[in-house]
Structure 1
């Protein structure tokens, strides 16, 4: 669980990188989400679901650009087919 904190684009990139996703420096949240779902498998999908659930359930303040990218890119890709 995350502590009270702010999750901006840099912190969000760091969390994706910690999952083993190759995100270039300076990528914005939308680009980072696009890269995160490109060619992902069940294992990565589970890790991304946990990340999103933890972020949204935590008391962290999620930057609006990060929240928008999650809603527009990650969530639709994570919906089971």
Structure 2
């Protein structure tokens, strides 16, 4: 079985960029993701890459889509 690898730097950059793209604080992003703020800090600093990073990335995509959709409705 060929498993995709992701580096801590890649994951860190992805999380940080996605959070910034929707203008959320780490605290608010953590709430939207269902994790604590410390987890987001570790992700963004490249301290940890979760074993289930693929599901985390999917969740981030959902959070970003919902946030963007809600911004369009408000404007």
Give the TM-score taking structure 1 as reference length: 0.36
Larger radius of gyration: 2
- The alignment's TM-score, normalised by the length of structure 2, stands at 0.38
